Structure 1
Amino acid sequence: MDTPQIKKAPTVYDVAIVGSGAGGGMAAYTLAKAGAKVVLLEAGGYYDPADPKYITQLKWPWESPRRGASTEARSGGDFDAAWGGWEIEGEPYSTVAGTEFGWFRSRMLGGRTNHWGRISLRFGPDDFRRRSITGVGDDWPIAYEDMKPFYDKTDKLIGVFGTNLPDFPNEPDGFFLPPPKPRLHELMLRKAGKSIGIPVVPSRLSILTKPINNERGQCFYCHQCNRGCQAYADFSASSVLCIPAVKTGNVTLVNGAMAREVLTDPQTGLATGVSYVDKATLQEITVRAKAVMVAASTCESARLLLNSKSSRFPTGLANSSGVIGKYLNDSTGASRSGFVPALMDRKRYNEDGVGGMHVFTPWWLDNKKLDFPRGYHIEYGGGMGMPGYGFGGGIESLNGKIPGRDGQMKQAGGYGKGLKDDYRRFYGAYISMAGRGEPVPLESNYCEIDPTRVDKYGIPTLRFHYKWSDYEVKQAKHMQDTFEEIIHAMGGIALGSKPGPDSGHGYGLAAPGRIIHEVGTVRMGNDPQKSALNKFQQAHDVKNLFVVDAAPFPTQGDKNVTWTILAASMRASEYFIDQVKQKNI
């Protein structure tokens, strides 16, 4: 029993980490394994996909409480492991007139890694030196060689399937598990791509096709990775990093902790801890730490640092350069779908596979010969997966006649037996493709603190300024031309009208923020006047402050960023450990 007369001194942790996604989870895991005492602050709730309380995997569609409908708190529907979305009650944000940005927030242990596509691509050598190659944008302060050891460690720790691609030097070799075999539509995509000079190769996803340790199972091909895997066969920061880190006894996890401010010592300027609002009680609580690592996600991390003002840091913590919030950029995105008559009347069998694509197209062209400076990759969908609520079979999209069983042309759809017959015939005959590309970061695309609005916790909110440039619009046009070429090479029919310059943000280009790959608001660089962090993601102004999500990245890459977040966070964490041993921090 505690002695009432004696007041305990507050716990001072070695490190306070804000955010438990890819960056925060990897930092917590790396530091905990090294023996550091860590407090891990997560704004959302606890989540473990193997706990019966949270399992939605392998449930039938009709078990969905709202028949699969989404809500503000469950943007992907009842069964998707996404707690959060673009709009969260009590957590507003705004955009300046004439601009647009959708800010997705994940509110759960493990963050967005619970419901992402598991596409796990390394940045290649060219991705770190885009300005040197094209004269547009910026180079990173590091090269691929600096990151390679940590990509290698991440491959081995987490597991990723795929193959080495010797013909693509900007798709570096890795340590890959066997990839799953292509499904029928993917075989057809590969054949069509070969006929027109577009590569279609095995994809790289962080899903275990073979077990890599005794604590995780291997994929059993239910195609439901978005629901969270109770076998831990896919990668989520919650199951693979955070929960094992907590089990070491070195990590104190605090859920429902809405970070308000990184605290500093007024004399030294060093970080001393984090102030957060307990979402359940609305009380403000302080945790003390010898160092702070911010990994709240790109925009949330910028918000936290901009809100961390003091007489020593009047424009926000670590912001003497004035760049925090600037150079925000999200992946470009455009898509198209098609109907492939050769895939009609298929024999029924389990074609689920992994919860994502078995093949993809890496960037295959030379931008010097094009009218836009950055590339994109293509993600493919299709097959005979389990239908869910809202499955329409695509009949309405054909908008005309199709061949009947007797070979005669007939109107698709209708009602009764004829409608059911068409659904059966068309099931599995549709394919989709989506481009995910690299934008050029612009200083004019940024987030800032809204001077007039706070959220329900009393924390000032963000205001966004964002517009695509002509580079991204031209890239989207190229995507659409490529999609149609692939569909026609398959003998398919492209559905709907081809997106033109007035479609979306131009040629079907998605609105900024909708691809949810944003990077760049707390950029790293060698010049403290033009960057907030050094090459180890350590603040120039505050030596015991690190940012370990995607906010430090100077550029996006034509690849999904999660694998680079993981590797860079591991690199920063190991550097931190070394600096502590040398008594530099």
Structure 2
Amino acid sequence: MQIKESPELYDVIIVGSGAGGGMATKQLADAGLKVAVVEAGPFFDPADPKTMTQLKNPYDSPRRGAGTDRAFGEFDMSYGDWHVDGEPYTHAEGTTFKWWRSRMLGGRTNHWGRISLRFGPKDFKGKTRDGHGEDWPIGYDDVKPYYDKVDKLIGVFGTNEGLENDPDGFFLPPPKPRLHELFYIKGAKKSGIPVIPGRLSMLTKRINNERGVCFYCGQCNRSCSIYADFSAGSCLIFPAQKNGGQVKLYVNAMVREVTTDEEGRATGVSYIDKEDRKEYKLRGKIVVLAASACSSARILLNSKSKQHPNGLGNSSNLVGRYLHDSTGSSGAAFVPGLMDRDVSYNEDGVGGMHVYSPWWGDNNKLDFPRGYHIEVWGGMGQPNYGFGFDQDNFNKLMGLPTGGYGDKLRNEVKRYYGAVVGFGGRGEGLAVKDNYCEIDPTTVDDYGIPVLKFNYKWSDIEVRQAKHMQDTFEEITHNMGGIYLNKPGKDRDYGLHAPGEIIHEVGTTRMGDDPRTSVTNRFNQLHDVDNVFIVDAGPFVSQADKNCTWTILALSWRASDYIIEQIKKQNL
């Protein structure tokens, strides 16, 4: 097969355009480097009227907003899912992992919850803390200057609380709690559980002339048409282009491998154009992988050569190993005090939680290490198909004669509208060597690229953490004067979500000082190949009880500064 090679030589080729790839694009292009961004999905701009779904109503759709090929509903702005047509993945027998891919410019940052939490000092030193896993080769003080820069560049609301492991930052004014959140605050504090304003990357105050200010439409899962929330395209890649940066976008391009020379150093990437199904090669002095933890591992493992027979950067045989996702268990409560709401006012707020509970527990008194935070949902967001709760089960629990048609149904729905409060526990699962992804030798995708095979199981530690979540949700519900609905028991692992379902997978190219026990160094650079860097969540040594996006952004900026410094020193 003839492969067409580009005559252009780029200073840097960046694979992936989400949080890590977007930040690297912004910093490297602003430094004057010639950058190629290779994205597996199409071009996307949330401000484009052709693609914009913000402010559309459920009744604008024949499905009333229910999803067809989108797991989170028709109006969710993600061209992707746990299953993508033509891009399968497989599992080892008896294991499971749900792998989310978002195929579009900006990747998952177009539809994420925008919960923007820093890792704390304890999160970088897990083994020192409790003997589990390994410590990162860096600490909070190494990353803090970059967290500060990310806060100021992108914008995040919140408050400084002085909490040891939930560090303060540079915050915009947070929105006030809504009524259901006031009930939650009262219930949580009665159990000694802290509640503080949420920390979300949505602009409640103008920070520049390119981005608007949130007007509380509550539809942030759709990506913001006025760029008031953080998406990598609108906040990082587009500004890099407008600032005169030399940025060339290659979209609908599935990267097969990183190409190398006789010395084993990277020379660029090869990709399949999804439109003409032909293979192309881009040439670059430096390759930055930011395709997501699992996709970057897949590219490295498929990049085999005489110099790298196990795959690029895999002399340690650890590429794909230590894969782990956040833990998650969810619940919902019916709160009679929230019935018969006045629906004549708008309390939509931002598209996410106005308050949350950071981890408060003493693990010395618990039967699991690490912790979790609690996310809260509820209120009177615009209903769509399936917005409520299981009506039959609700009737059985409450003994209420709801249902029917016409005025009877409308009146009863209005009575209960806004009377349900939801909880989501999001915690730290342990990094384990035997949880991993590898290349399936028998399966390729529609583009002829070998696919990933997953081997992943939760341990009893994660199950015990999920039980604590459920018991906590039930206690808070009781404190609110509510009734907890559908509490899962031991037979359902206390509602513990399947690995991958929280979409926080990390750890496949873990960083460390020893090339025998890690894949990248403390600057996200491959030990084996000095002109290849990984700036997604692959280098994470451990997940924390926080969402990982803010740390991806900070570490990508840090790695970008290191790349610029090494170029100036002529080391790259």
Shift of 1:280: 0.2
Please give the alpha-carbon distance, in whole angstroms, between the structure 2 residues aligned to 1:517 and 1:64. 31
Match of 2:356 among 357, 360, 365: 360
Shift of 1:393: 5.9
Please give the alpha-carbon distance, in whole angstroms, between the structure 2 residues aligned to 1:9 and 1:318. 25
Match of 1:148 among 132, 138, 144: 144
Q: Report the more deviating stretch, 389-398 or 211-220.
A: 389-398
Please give the alpha-carbon distance, in whole angstroms, between the structure 1 residues aligned to 2:532 and 2:6. 24
Match of 1:318 among 313, 326, 329: 313
1:510 aligns with 2:507: no
Shift of 1:410: 5.0
Shift of 1:200: 1.3
Match for residue 4 of structure 1? none
Shift of 1:315: 0.2
Deviations 1:285-339 (A, max 9, x none): 0000000000000100000000000010000001101100000000001011010
Q: Report the more deviating stretch, 76-85 or 21-30.
A: 76-85
Deviations 1:194-241 (A, max 9, x none): 111011110100000001001001000000001111110000001101
Shift of 1:52: 0.7
Please give the alpha-carbon distance, in whole angstroms, between the structure 1 residues aligned to 2:449 and 2:62. 33
Match of 2:94 among 80, 94, 98: 98
Match for residue 478 of structure 1? 468
1:384 aligns with 2:374: no
Task: Structure 2: give runs of 5+ residues left out of the alignment.
Answer: none
Task: Structure 1: give runs of 5+ residues left out of the alignment.
Answer: 1-7, 403-408
Shift of 1:342: 0.4
TM-score (norm 1): 0.95
- Aligned pairs (5 A) from 1:89-488: 89-166=85-162, 168-247=163-242, 248-266=244-262, 268-348=263-343, 349-392=345-388, 395-400=391-396, 411-488=401-478
- Aligned pairs (5 A) from 1:15-34: 15-34=12-31
Shift of 1:249: 3.9
Match for residue 84 of structure 2? 88
Matched to 1:517, the amino acid is H
TM-score (norm 2): 0.97
Deviations 1:385-431 (A, max 9, x none): 111123346643422475xxxxxx85333444332221010001110
Please give the alpha-carbon distance, in whole angstroms, between the structure 2 residues aligned to 1:210 and 1:183. 19
Please give the alpha-carbon distance, in whole angstroms, between the structure 2 residues aligned to 1:347 and 1:62. 22
Counterpart contact for 2:30–2:245, Cα < 8 Å: no
Distance change in 2, residues 1:130/1:33 (3 Å)? same
What secondary structure does 1:473 align onto? helix
Deviations 1:253-292 (A, max 9, x none): 11001000101111x2111100000000011000000000
Please give the alpha-carbon distance, in whole angstroms, between the structure 1 residues aligned to 2:275 and 2:321. 33
1:560 aligns with 2:547: yes
Match of 1:582 among 561, 569, 572: 569
Provide the identity percentage.
64
Q: Report the more deviating stretch, 328-337 or 417-426.
A: 417-426
Counterpart contact for 1:318–1:532, Cα < 8 Å: yes
Please give the alpha-carbon distance, in whole angstroms, between the structure 1 residues aligned to 2:364 and 2:65. 46
Please give the alpha-carbon distance, in whole angstroms, between the structure 2 residues aligned to 1:64 and 1:361. 36
Please give the alpha-carbon distance, in whole angstroms, between the structure 1 residues aligned to 2:528 and 2:326. 30
Counterpart contact for 1:16–1:292, Cα < 8 Å: yes
Please give the alpha-carbon distance, in whole angstroms, between the structure 1 residues aligned to 2:355 and 2:85. 38
Please give the alpha-carbon distance, in whole angstroms, between the structure 1 residues aligned to 2:558 and 2:187. 41
Distance change in 2, residues 1:411/1:132 (3 Å)? same
Counterpart contact for 1:345–1:426, Cα < 8 Å: yes
What secondary structure does 1:368 align onto? helix
Distance change in 2, residues 1:9/1:411 (3 Å)? closer
> Aligned pairs, how many?
567
Please give the alpha-carbon distance, in whole angstroms, between the structure 2 residues aligned to 1:211 and 1:416. 45
Match of 1:43 among 37, 40, 45: 40
Matched to 2:56, the amino acid is K
Distance change in 2, residues 1:9/1:100 (3 Å)? closer
Match of 2:52 among 45, 55, 62: 55
Shift of 1:76: 2.7
Please give the alpha-carbon distance, in whole angstroms, between the structure 2 residues aligned to 1:222 and 1:9. 44
Matched to 1:37, the amino acid is K
Deviations 1:158-206 (A, max 9, x none): 000001112x200001000000000011011111111110111101000
Please give the alpha-carbon distance, in whole angstroms, between the structure 1 residues aligned to 2:334 and 2:245. 54
Distance change in 2, residues 1:397/1:162 (3 Å)? farther
1:540 aligns with 2:527: yes
Distance change in 2, residues 1:581/1:443 (3 Å)? same
Shift of 1:9: 8.2
Counterpart contact for 2:32–2:245, Cα < 8 Å: no
What secondary structure does 2:490 align onto? coil
Counterpart contact for 2:319–2:509, Cα < 8 Å: yes
Shift of 1:67: 3.5
Matched to 1:61, the amino acid is P
Distance change in 2, residues 1:468/1:393 (3 Å)? closer
Counterpart contact for 1:159–1:208, Cα < 8 Å: yes
Distance change in 2, residues 1:260/1:9 (3 Å)? closer
Deviations 1:506-531 (A, max 9, x none): 11100001110000001110100000
Counterpart contact for 1:75–1:83, Cα < 8 Å: no
Please give the alpha-carbon distance, in whole angstroms, between the structure 1 residues aligned to 2:402 and 2:59. 27
Matched to 1:502, the amino acid is D
Counterpart contact for 1:41–1:254, Cα < 8 Å: yes
Please give the alpha-carbon distance, in whole angstroms, between the structure 2 residues aligned to 1:84 and 1:394. 27
Matched to 1:191, the amino acid is K
What secondary structure does 1:435 align onto? strand
What secondary structure does 2:108 align onto? helix
Counterpart contact for 1:158–1:206, Cα < 8 Å: yes
What secondary structure does 2:7 align onto? coil
Task: Find runs of 4+ consecutive structure 1 residues off by over 4 angstroms.
Answer: none
Distance change in 2, residues 1:410/1:573 (3 Å)? closer
What secondary structure does 1:146 align onto? helix
